[in-house]
């Protein structure tokens, strides 16, 4: 998660790096969707993982009471992974969309 409220001098290189990474992912997913297997230069440069298995991992998300989501009913929501967060500007960019940050939950809730 990139904390934008710390200033663009700190955040800009991280934002550009993440944008480039996601553009490469999108390009690869489009190629796979079009029936194109990874090319030899993609696989040849890839690291090898032996004795592997998949596991779930925890990523930062936002949970709370949502309103106005285009696909979900109003009520409790959990977002996709937070990519960028601005506590001063009161917004978050998750993997799928922007969110406006209203009141933060207090610890006595």
Mean pLDDT computed over 34-52: 88
Residue closest to 101 by CA, chosen among 60, 61, 92: 92
Cα–Cα dist 78/65, whole Å:
9
Mean pLDDT computed over 56-73: 92
Structure token pair of residue 61: 């998300």
Does the structure show a pLDDT above 80 at 13?
A: yes
Average pLDDT, the chain: 91
Q: Which residue has the tokens 């960028």?
A: 84
Mean pLDDT computed over 62-75: 92
Does the structure show a pLDDT above 80 at 38?
A: yes
Q: Identify the pLDDT of residue 109.
A: 58
């Amino acid at each position: 998660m990139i904390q934008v409220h710390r200033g663009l001098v700190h955040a800009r290189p991280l934002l550009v790096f993440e944008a480039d990474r996601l553009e490469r992912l999108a390009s690869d997913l489009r190629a796979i969707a079009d029936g194109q297997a990874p090319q030899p230069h993609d696989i040849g440069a890839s690291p090898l993982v032996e004795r592997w298995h998949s596991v779930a991992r925890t990523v930062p998300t936002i949970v709370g009471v949502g309103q106005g989501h285009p696909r979900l009913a109003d009520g409790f929501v959990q977002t996709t992974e937070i990519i960028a967060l601005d506590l001063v500007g009161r917004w978050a960019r998750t993997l799928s969309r922007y969110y406006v940050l209203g009141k933060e939950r207090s610890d006595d809730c």
